[in-house]
Structure 1
C-alpha cells in the first residue's frame, strides 16, 4: 500500500512499509523526499536488503536489473556490484546479463534482482486481463523459462532460491486504489529447503520479502524493519 510501483518495490527490498522507508509515490527522489525515513545510512538512504546482505555476508555479490528508471532511486547503489538499466521497455538483455553475472560469481553467495515493466505498461494501454496483457505475461514467462534452462544447463538451478513477486495489480487500465484486484499480489518462493506444493495461509505482506532473502543468507532482519520471516515455508 499504496498500490503503485515505487512504494511497493521499496517495501519488498527494505522489509518495511512507507511509514518506515518514506517512499509514498512514484515521484519520490532522495532530494525531494518530504517524509523522513525512520533511519538513514550515511548517504541518506533507508537500509535495503542489499546493504544488510553486505553486512552479514561481506563476500556476497549483488545485482539490480531494471527497465523503469525511478525504480533504483530508493536504494544506495554502493551496495550493488552491478546495476543495469534498459530504456523503452527492453528487458531480454537484462536476463542475459543476469545469467552472466550469476555465472561469474557461481562459487560465492549471489543475489540478483531482475525486473520487467512491460507487462504493467501493456495493462495501462490495453487493460488488465486483456488479451494483450495476457500475451505480455506469456512473453515474460517464456524469457523466465529460457533463463531457468540456462541455469539448469550450468548445474546452477537446484542450488538457487527463486522469489516470484510483483508490486501491484490493476483494474481497468489503472491502479492505485484499494480494490482486491489492485492490492493483492502473488508472492512465491522455491529452492533448497523450501516446501513444495505448499500454500501460505498465514497473513503475508510485501515487507516480508527482504527478511526472507536475508534469512536464506544467514542474516536477521534489521531492527527498523517491520517484515518477518515466513517460517511455514520451511520444513519443521
Structure 2
C-alpha cells in the first residue's frame, strides 16, 4: 500500500517530522518545532514526558508492551535522534559523512540475530536530502541519490530473502518532507506531500491509495503490527485501518 500524498507536519523540516513519525503526534504535543531542538533547550515543553524528560516514542511503547521486543536505530544525521530516549533502543549506530552502507549491514545482522524476537529496525539515510540542498530537488544528482538509496534497500531485501527473513517481515518506506529548488520548510504541496509505503503479511495489496494520511499515523500502524492497542491516549495520530487485512 502506497500513498504519494501523505502530509508531513508543519514546518516541513527534518526533526519535527521524524519525531512525528516516531511518536504518533505533532509538534503541538511533542514540542519539536525546528531542527535546533535539544532536550536541554526548547521553547515548548511536551504534553507528556518519560522519567528522563522525553516525549514517549514508539520504541518506549513497544519495549513496555511487547515481551522480548528488540529495536535498533541507524542514522547518519547526528541531530536526528535528539528527541528520542535511547534507553528504550537496543542498538544505536551513527555513521559519519553521510555514509549508510555500514548501517545497512548492521541492520541486516541485527534482524538476523533477533529473528526469533519481535524486532523493529529504523534505518535512515540523509544523503538524498543533502543532494536536494546542494543541487536542487528533482535535479539529476538528486534523482541519482534516490537511486543509490533504492539500490541499498534492494540489496538489503535480497539479503533478507536469502536468509529466509523476508516473508514474515513488514516494511515501511517513509520520509520527512518534500522540497522545492534547494530547500524546504514552506507549505507548497511539493514540500507538504510525501510518499508513505507499507507492505507485509498483515497489509492489503492496495497499490496506490488516495485516502488522507499523516506521518503522525506511522507509529500507530507500527503498534498495530506488533499487536499493541494500548498506546498513549495523548498520541494524536489515527490508525490507517484501511491498509490492514
Counterparts of 1:1-236 in structure 2, within 5 Å, are 1-220=10-229, 221-235=231-245
Q: Deviations over 1:99-157 (max 9, x none)?
A: 00000000010000000000000000000000000000001100000000000001110
The alpha-carbon deviation at position 68 of structure 1 amounts to: 0.1
- Partner Cα distance (1:98, 1:223) in 2: 31
- Partner Cα distance (1:110, 1:11) in 2: 20
TM-score (norm 2): 0.94
Q: Deviations over 1:25-82 (max 9, x none)?
A: 0000000011010000010000000000011103100000000000000000000000
Tell which has more relative contact order, 1 or 2 (C-alpha 8 A, sep 6+).
2
**Is the Cα–Cα contact under 8 Å of residues 51 and 79 in structure 1 kept in the other structure?**
yes
**Is the Cα–Cα contact under 8 Å of residues 206 and 243 in structure 2 kept in the other structure?**
no
**Is the Cα–Cα contact under 8 Å of residues 64 and 83 in structure 1 kept in the other structure?**
yes
| Unaligned ranges ≥5, structure 2 | 1-9
Segments ≥4 residues shifted beyond 4 Å: none
| Unaligned ranges ≥5, structure 1 | none
- Partner Cα distance (1:230, 1:199) in 2: 14
RMSD: 0.8
> SS of the counterpart of 1:8?
helix
> SS of the counterpart of 1:224?
coil
The alpha-carbon deviation at position 193 of structure 1 amounts to: 1.9
- Partner Cα distance (1:226, 1:197) in 2: 25
- Partner Cα distance (1:4, 1:58) in 2: 35
